[in-house]
Structure 1
Amino acid sequence: MSSVREAWGAGVINFDGLGVISYRFKVKKMKIIKDVIALRFKTSESEGVILHGEGQQGDYITLELRMAKLLMQINLGSNQYGSILGHTSVTTGSLLDDNHWHSVVIERYRRNVNFTLDRHTQHFRTNGEFDHLDLDYELSFGGMPYSGKPVGAGRKNFKGCMESINYNGDNITDLARRKKIDTSSFRNLSFSCVETHSFPVFFNATSFLQLPGRANHDTLSVSFQFRTWNPEGLLLFSNLDDGTLEVSLEDSKVGVHLNVTQETGNQRVDLSSGSGLNDGQWHAIRLVARENFAMLTIDGEEASAVRSTSPLTITTGGTYHLGGYFLQTLFPPSQRSFQGCMQAILLDDQPADMHAVEKGIMGAFENVSLDMCAIIDRCMPNHCEHGGRCKQTWDSFSCTCDGTGYTGATCHTSIYEPSCEAYKHRGRSSDTYWIDPDGSGPLGPFKVNCNMTEDKVWTTVMNNLPPKTAVTGSSRERRTVLQVNYSASMDQVTSITTSAEYCEQLISYSCRMSRLLNTPGETHLYSPPTREHITEGGRLFCSSQSQNVMCNSY
Structure 2
Amino acid sequence: LELSRLAIDRDPKITLNGDLVFRCEDVAALDPVTFESPESYISLPKWNTKKTGSISFDFRTTEPSGLLLFSHGRPQGPKEQKPGRELKTDYFAMELLDGYLYLLIDMGSGKTKLKASNKKVNDGEWCHVDFQREGRKGSISVNSRSMPFMSPEGSEILDLDSDMYLGGLPETKSELILPPEVWTALLNYGYVGCVRDLFIDGKSRDVRRLAEIQSALGVSSFCTRELQKRCSSAPCSNGGLCKEGWNRYICDCTGTGYLGTNCEIEATVLSYDGSMYLKIIMPITMHTEAEDVALRFMSQRAYGLLMATTSKESADTLRLELDGGRVKLTVNLDCIRIDCSLSKGPETLFAGQKLNDNEWHTVKVVRRGKSLQLSVDNVTVEGQMTGAHTRLEFHNVETGIMTERRFIPVVPSNFIGHLQGLTFNGLPYLDQCKNGDISYCELNARFGMRHIIADPVTFRTKGSYLALATLQAYASMHLFFQFKTTTPDGLMLFNSGDGSDFIVVELVKGYVHYVFDLGNGPSLMKGNSDKPLNDNQWHNVVISRDSNNVHILKIDSRTVTQHTNGARNLDLKGELYIGGVGKSMYSSLPRLIASREGYKGCLASVDLNGRLPDLLADALHKVGDVEGGCGGPSTTCTEDSCHHQGVCLQLWEGFSCDCTMTTYGGPFCSDPGTTYIFGKGGALITFTWAPNERPSTRADRLAVGFSTQQKEAILVRVESTHGLGDFLQLHIDQGKVGVIFNVGTDDISIDEPAVIVNDGKYHVVRFTRSGGNATLQVDNHPVIERYPPGRQLTIFNSQAAIKIGGYDKGRPFQGQISGLYYNGLQVLKLAADNDPSVQVEGNLRLVGDSLSVLATDTTSATPLAVSDMSTTIMETTTTMATTTTRRPRSTSMRESISKPQSSDDILVASAECPSDDEDLEECEPGTGGELVLPIITVDSLEPPSIATHYPVIPPPPTLLSPLETTRESLILPPHPSCPPDQEDCGDPVEVSAFGSGEMTESDDEDFHNNNSPMVTDRTVLPPPPAAGEGGVHKPRPLPPFVPTTNPDQLHIPAGKKHNRDQVLLPPAPPSSRNTPGLTYPPNFPHVPTANPTASDDKNQPGAVEVIRESSSTTGMVVGIVAAAALCILILLYA
TM-score (norm 2): 0.20
Higher Cα Rg, which structure: 2
Per residue, is there more strand in 1 or in 2? 1
* Structure having greater relative contact order (Cα 8 Å, sep ≥ 6): 1
Please report the TM-score for the alignment, with normalisation by the length of structure 1: 0.39
